[in-house]
Amino acid sequence: MWSGLGQAATVAQLVGADVGGLISMIMQAALTAQQNKKECEQLARRVFMIAELLPHLQDPEVMPRPEVRRPLAGLGDTLREAHELVMSCQGMTMVYRLVTAGRQADKFRDVQSKIDSYLLVFPFISHIYITRRLDRIYNILLPNDMSTMPSPSSGSHSHEVELQAKVVLHGDEGEKFTFAELAAATNNFADDREIGKGGFGTVYIGYLLSDGREVAIKRMHKDEMHGTMAKEFLAEVAILPSLRHEHIICLYGSCVLEHEKRQLLPPFRKIKMVEERLIVYEYTKNGSLHDHLHGTPPWPSSSSSPVRASWKMRIETLLGVSRAIEYLQCYNERPVIHRDINSSNILFDATWAPRLADFGASVRCDPSTRSVRPDAIYGTFGYIDLECAMSVIAKPTIDVYSFGVVMLEVLTGMRALFYQEEDVHKVFNCWEDPNTIPAILAEVTLPFIEVGEVWKVMDRRLTPEPTARQLEAADLVAQTAARCVRLRGEDRPAISEVVANLEAALELARRDG
């Protein structure tokens, strides 16, 4: 996660510490703490936020700024202090605990305050990052030079024939599309056919001329074909076509368009292959869960949304997605780990049925060990499992953790990470003095859930005064979510138990009418 900056100073040089190593040791110690477990876990979550945010400082334009460099000067010392504190919780005698309990609480508060002061450096960076990750299903960048793209209605016929001849078809179980078909379906990828664009790209609505089907066409930037996006493409076309579930997005097919470039000077040979990759999905017209919970256009906060207004529908959505995860983990010869479950990757079709989408990070795991060691940590900021990030071993429990965050998001109406004061007051009216420090949803909600005060964190847009059954259903969802986001994977419930609990919660909501 922490790479060099070339000529610029690295974070390690700036703070005089192995930041990555310290953070890893803190999280490892938190997993094995015998005392003050809740405090250690809370501290580990905050420290992990620093781990997630530090890579965004690896920008030569950001690091030299005094407002960034100055606050980080003492980060190494604070992390060492946090490590010593968590290590002191590995084991204590009863007498020692009684004597030091007050001092330990003061130390935790002091270290937490110091870490929060460093997190104040990052809100604007992380906010941009989160914004870029919205609707990752639309993760294909629009090429900068549209003039190089063929047009069905313009350009030479010979050029079009040459391009079509270079098409390579992928996905043994998917349909076979040519580039010309997909260009025609989107009116040559016209601006008015765009239905989503984020930091990773653009998706278009298309109408297949062969049968009139309405589809979503994802198009990858030709300059990114050999990096992360190429891996995402290969993962989707290798895994998704074989999955058949009512709550998993359907991939119809894919296409790769290859261009050959020849060296103009001796030796005259081909030197580079530049590709266009496209994937065709079913079209889900009603946006994402993130859109409806957080007021993303075209579903602003003021609009009517069945997801926003109905507690029953929220539980139905969670139940549908949990069944999709159960299918991935339990009903495949080789279990599938999604690795990027978040509210932006849960889409709604025309009937408002949820669909789990974006399998670009997915991996199949060994059925005997139920694990795999991926080449990198993957996921969306705020949903990443701390244990996986530390061990770099992917297990089905990482999807349980991410889904637990989604459950809390649905329960509260809050983002997985939030910064703005108005967001805090929208739900957590008990907060007297909110500030601009990034707040972790799990960290904020768990104290209320653990003492049985779930009504304090329920989304007020659902109902100002929840009924007894609504509170009972909400408490069941909340208690299940709290177990899902536990620090150690072995302490989380199996996905089949999550499904059973959500079925019980839905039955309570239905009885309430």
* Residues noted as catalytic: 340
Mapping DSSP onto H, E and C, the string for 447-504 reads: HHHHCCCHHHCCCCCCCCCCCHHHHHHHHHHHHHHHHHCCCCHHHCCCHHHHHHHHHH
The count of C-alpha atoms lying within 13 angstroms of the C-alpha of 228, restricted to the half-sphere facing its C-beta, is: 13
Determine if residue 426 is labeled as part of a ligand binding site. Answer: no
> What residues have CB less than 8 Å from 175, skipping those under 6 apart?
252, 253, 280
Angstrom distance (rounded) from CA 330 to CA 324: 10
Angstrom distance (rounded) from CA 308 to CA 317: 12
In 3D space, the residue among 53, 57, 55, 70 whose CA is nearest the CA of residue 119 turns out to be 53
**Burial of residue 50 (number of CB atoms within 10 Å: 0-12, 13-18, 19+):** buried
First to last CA, the chain: 49
- Backbone phi and psi for residue 215, each to the nearest 5 degrees, phi listed first: -135, 165
Structure tokens at 488: 């150690």
> Tokens 């889900």 sit at which residue?
284
Angstrom distance (rounded) from CA 130 to CA 127: 5
How many other β-carbons are positioned within 10 Å of the β-carbon of residue 267? 6
Structure tokens at 201: 């790209």
Strands (DSSP E) contained in 43-200 are: 167-170, 175-176, 194-198
Q: 346: helix, coil or strand?
A: strand
**Binding-site residue positions for ATP:** 218
